[in-house]
Amino acid sequence: MIETNFWLFLTAACLIAAVPGPGIFYVAARTLSEGRASGFASTAGTALGGLVHVLAGSLGISAIILASAELFAAVKFGGALYLVWLGIKTFRGAGRALSLESEPVGDKRAFRDGVLVEALNPKTAAFFLAFIPQFLDPTGSNPTLQFIMLGAISVALNTFADIVVVLMASATRTQLVERPHLMRRLTQGSGVFIAGLGLSLALARQPANG
């Protein structure tokens, strides 16, 4: 890979990771509603989901999905419905989310949810397919390996940003947990926000070909 391309990519990827996006808002909402352990588990899940998109993009699977209106709609609505379901579940469970410690079972579920939420988001696939190829060396011997490497770096940077957000949201939650009524309202708000992310995903349009 051309060295100049790599440093341009790293700069752009750092800037993108620092800009709040749906992933950051999702892990923040999970942390506020369920605690730091759940936030970290969600972050690990979204990271794995991001790597799924990197691998799919390198193999051309993402391009096939994005080019097919039927496949794009199936993935999009699957992810949207899952987010809406998570949001409703979080909202309904607000009265129980008043302790600082999350149960291990909940953390496993948060990890699974993070994987599915990210892996079922076709907008993430579209981002990787639009962003990474700009920095590939066309004369290189293995463009697939280049794609995977740059994609993994991008996921790592996004994950680092998510971890920072989890720590900040956790500190806020620690201060609010002594106020049950306010904590309940905050958790309900997190549920509404997660469901809102699902509705936003449902309204996403298929990227134009070419």
**What distance in Å separates the CA atoms of residue 8 and residue 66, rounded to the nearest whole number?**
26
Q: What is the pTM of this model?
A: 0.79
Phi/psi-derived region of residue 142, left when phi > 0, alpha when psi is between -120 and 50, beta in every other case:
beta
Residue 102: is its pLDDT beyond 50? no
Q: Which of 93, 35, 86 is nearest to 196 (CA)?
A: 86
For the chain, the average pLDDT equals: 83
**What distance in Å separates the CA atoms of residue 161 and residue 22, rounded to the nearest whole number?**
12
For residue 48, the one-letter residue type is L
Tens of pLDDT, residue by residue over 127-164, are 888 888 888 877 767 888 889 999 999 999 999 999 99
pLDDT at 105: 45
Residue 97: is its pLDDT beyond 60? no
Tens of pLDDT, residue by residue over 86-95, are 888 778 776 5
Residue 184: is its pLDDT beyond 70? yes
Q: Which of 187, 44, 33, 43 is nearest to 102 (CA)?
A: 33
**What distance in Å separates the CA atoms of residue 146 and residue 51, rounded to the nearest whole number?**
14
pLDDT at 4: 67
Q: What percent of the chain has pLDDT over 90?
A: 26
